[in-house]
Amino acid sequence: QVQLVESGGGLVQAGGSLRLSCAASGRTFNPYAMGWFRQAPGKGREFVATITWGGGFITYADSVKGRFTISKDNAENTVYLQMNRLKPEDTAVYYCAARRPASLRYDDWGQGTQVTVSS
């Protein structure tokens, strides 16, 4: 069983920055990819960014391209999301997730961390 714990959320003014972390634990932790997703109030969960655990291949949602950076530390089993030039519309609960090898979906999810951007 994989446990994912997010941290680093908070309240920030528009234009500011935050860095989210997601620490993974579990003896069998060896994902194909790690991803960040978010869910704003009254909206569905949306994709933000993903990175493959081995090759480091990265994909971003258009809404965050150029502002957010996903990275990983394989030795620490941690994935990060650096968020710059934050906008009020980035306000959401941010979740990290792990996609297991040979899986077509994200199987393991963290509990989420709140990010609030004030205008």
pLDDT of residue 55: 87
- Rounded distance between C-alpha atoms, residue 64 and residue 23, angstroms: 22
Residue 69 belongs to what H/E stretch? Answer: strand 68-73
pLDDT of residue 97: 98
Note the Cα 30 to chain centre separation in Å.
Answer: 17
pLDDT of residue 14: 98
Report the first-to-last Cα separation within the chain, whole angstroms: 40
Given the DSSP bridges, would you call strands 18-25 and 78-83 parallel, antiparallel or unpaired? Answer: antiparallel
Instruction: Give the tens place of pLDDT for each residue, 17-74.
Output: 999 999 999 877 889 999 999 999 999 999 999 999 998 899 999 999 999 999 999 9
